[in-house]
A and B are shown apart, each in its own frame.
Chain A
């Protein structure tokens, strides 16, 4: 998933262990935003292809929003 943009560089966190990959922003699909989940193909540190995984992004957004709401209500303290 894309953690952030630093100027023309996109910082992508790859896989379970969130390996940090820095790739040119222009090599990513147009209109891609921070937080987007991607299906990517890499060779070493080189990006071969990238596709937005909208379904996974939406799932993560919903899951995270629910957890944040639980924290706000203090349900984890009970």
Chain B
């Protein structure tokens, strides 16, 4: 019974990306439809108003967040239910009946109800972590939301680039921690407006000051906000609820004079997924971190200095060994970020690259056993480098599939077997636009899988497409990336092989 409640919580969190993104999207007001409408019409006060469009959850359930809870169509038993977090109302065989979340009606099978995807209990108990690399044009701003709802913001972009509006739209009402990686305006310029508007408990920096007015306004805002101020150094840990950010830079002695190399570099381990967030740290700082002997391996790397050639040395990329690299840069920026050499080095290492200049805000979700990457836009051609006017785009919400239209409809990975056993089979199901031509690549340590099941397929009339393949008995255990392409849309996922 306890397991049921846990599973419910996980699913609620697992759908957060779509929920949060939808809350931020504009367009016609969402309504209840079909089975959700039938239930809502019977208990309108209980379910409240829809906050988003109906969409697919990771396990094939259909979900819709409301002002008071969550609507769910349960794939497992075909019932429609609503939960407010403690009680569940089910439009069952005898009309609407309600019960506590820890109970089951006799006609419900124990396996029914909102469930997490098939993941081991240990991983599920980790909960879901989300990392938003926010599109701030040329600059950096990264929001990390832990499974307990606590929020950490790393940098705030330049002033007026919409980070505050993004945080407000996705419902961030309190910041437990703000980290300013270093005092350059494209990282701290936007922090005063955020500190003035959102209660913040603590602000951490690497302790290296600048003499600009932008930096002084940042200090003034910390003072006015009455946020605790701390300097952090290599070896420190910044704890935010269950999240432990390991501080890898600046070094504890002799903070570099070069402000980029004085950047706070953080590593966050979440189950089998690890994040490396390196601010603008350049090759000298990367070498210094490697020399310190601290663990640096990471699944997801927010590469240094907007993809500049002054960061991402071969030794660093090899030691971190990311599957996914993300950079934040403004389309058509004057500095040529990201530099071609950096992108080539990442491509050569087989790393999937996402950038805010071409894809808008990038959201990485991890439940501790695997991860998925969602982007606001599908990858578009990079703006020509001769365009010297840095654009300041509005933050584009990640759009759920139900609000997409036309042939560009988004692609969403609905479920994937994780963990999969060596010698067993794995299945991935995705939802694309109906009839879309889809292909899949599973990349192991040895290279792309050549399993017979991984052939191009067409999505069905409902947009669903599914692959099953054999995981070879000698496959190297680990978490391996999966890329799905349907038409012009791409989606990344990963699964664990044990």
Contacts and interface: CB of A to CB of B under 8 A. Distances in A.
Nearest to A15: B213
Contact of B229 (A34, A61, A71): A71
Contacts of B308: 6-7
Contacts of B222: 71, 76
A29 to B, nearest CB: 16
A69 to B, nearest CB: 10
A64 B185 contact: no
Contacts of A71: 219, 222-223, 229
A25 to B, nearest CB: 12
B228 A74 contact: yes
Contact of B214 (A18, A74, A76): A18
B332 to A, nearest CB: 13
Interface string A37-78: 100000000000000000001001101110110111010110
A22 B260 CA distance: 18
B177 to A, nearest CB: 15
Contacts of B186: 3-4
Nearest to A67: B219
B211 A3 contact: no
B185 A11 contact: yes
Contacts, number: 81
A32 interface: no
Interface in B288-308: 308
A77 B211 CA distance: 24
Contacts of B223: 67, 70-71, 76
A58 B222 CA distance: 22
Nearest to A1: B212
A65 B208 CA distance: 10
Given A13-B213, A67-B216, A34 B259 contact: yes
Contact of B335 (A3, A9, A35, A77): A9
Given A18-B185, A71-B229, A77-B226, A1 B220 contact: no
Given A4-B259, A70-B223, A71-B229, A13 B214 contact: yes
Nearest to A7: B335
A75 B231 CA distance: 15
Interface of B: 158-159, 184-186, 189, 209-216, 219-220, 222-223, 226, 228-229, 231, 259-260, 308, 310, 334-336, 388
Interface of A: 1-4, 6-7, 9, 11, 13, 18, 20, 22, 34-37, 57, 60-61, 63-65, 67-68, 70-72, 74, 76-77
Given A6-B335, A18-B189, 12 more contacts: A6-B334, A7-B308, A9-B334, A13-B214, A18-B185, A22-B334, A22-B388, A35-B210, A60-B211, A60-B213, A64-B210, A67-B216
Rank and list the top 4 A-B pairs by shortest CB-CB distance, nearest first: A35-B211, A71-B229, A76-B223, A60-B211
